[in-house]
Amino acid sequence: MEKVKIGNCILELVKGDITEQDTEAIVNAANSRLVPGGGVDGAIHRKGGPSILEELRKKYSGCPTGKAVITKGGNLKAKFVIHAVGPVYKDGKSGEADLLASAYRSSLELAVKHSINSISFPALSTGAYGYPVKEASRIALSTVIEFLKEHQKPELVRFVLWDHNTFQIFKKSLKSLI
């Protein structure tokens, strides 16, 4: 685990399973149709149960890339799931960085709006969407650090990274940014 203080807030990096986090909210790497997919999305829907999809269908007709929506957490430890839609990586020159930063910012804005004090993120867009982890880690971390400096909340932002390699890349990026 890596932990840094940003003002009164804590930013953590951990290796693990996002569906097991005890933060008030976890972020789902959703698709724009908000239907269960593979990877993080599939794992959250499987563990959280059908009530998450039912709430998504009732409240939203989709979510644009770079934005996020919120539901209750169903059977998860987390009280809420924030469904963020990151970009599919094309060439790095098609606005992907802005859209990825926006997905993180939108998630944090929803957390603040709903008085959520702790939130866990996966490495958005780095799985099936093909975003290079090194580039994505710098965008994710710099966006979160900037948000925490400006808003001084949520109190805890945790990045939950599935594998050792992704964890190491995020750790190296974090050290270069602070």
pLDDT confidence of residue 75: 98
Q: pLDDT category, 11, cuts 50, 70, 90?
A: very high
Known catalytic residue: 91? no
Which stretches of the chain are DSSP H helices? 39-48, 50-59, 96-113, 133-151, 164-177
Look at the block and give the residue holding tokens 């001084």: 152
Say what the pLDDT of residue 7 is.
95
**Averaged confidence pLDDT in the chain:** 97
Q: Which residue in 41, 91, 98, 163 is the catalytic one?
A: 41
